[in-house]
Amino acid sequence: MDNRSQSHHFSPFAWYITQQERWEEQNGISAFTIATTVAAMLAAVNLVNQVGKTNIADYCRQTADAWNDSIETWLYAEDTRLSNEVGVDGHYLRINPTIIPAASLGDAAMKIKNKPEGQNVMPVTEMVSIDPLVPGPVWASRRE
């Protein structure tokens, strides 16, 4: 198939992949989604350049660069209860559901969609693995 015939798909795709964390279907930013999105946008740069869509290529490249430069700001939290408890300077969050830099989250909480009411909220700075998103006793035992 000719790349030129597919060029009309790139702009909606670039918009779509920037709107929601894709893995957990939670609004917010996660390292996994940023990494795959940055890689996809950089791959798209080559494709859209081949069909002469330099404005879309520039958008993808600039967005990928900006997001790559912002990963630590969005997702690396320092001096949290959890990092102090295990004796490290900081840690990466599994997901940051806000636009607030990780260093400024404080006690911000996150609602988890697949947990029952009363067990579905936890501090964002303690969301460091997928355990809270897995149904069952793993999450509950860590929070008790």
| Measured distance CA(74)–CA(93) in Å, rounded | 9
Q: What is the per-residue pLDDT for 58?
A: 93
- 74 Cβ contact partners less than 8 Å away, ≥ 6 residues apart: 29, 34, 96, 101, 102
Q: What is the per-residue pLDDT for 114?
A: 72
Residue 131 CB neighbours (<10 A): 14
Structure tokens at 110: 């996150």
Q: What is the per-residue pLDDT for 65?
A: 94
| Measured distance CA(45)–CA(41) in Å, rounded | 6
Q: What is the per-residue pLDDT for 91?
A: 87
CATH number of the domain to which 50 belongs:
1.50.10.10
Q: How many CA atoms lie within 13 A of 47 on its CB side?
A: 20
Amino acid at 68: N
pLDDT by residue for the chain (144 residues), tens only, comes to 344 444 455 555 555 555 555 555 667 788 888 888 899 889 989 888 998 989 989 988 999 999 999 999 999 999 888 888 889 998 888 888 887 888 888 888 888 777 788 878 888 888 766 555 454 444 443 444
| Domains in the chain, number | 1
**pTM of the model as a whole:** 0.66
Q: 34 lies in which domain range? A: 1-144
Q: What is the per-residue pLDDT for 131?
A: 54
Q: What is the per-residue pLDDT for 5?
A: 47
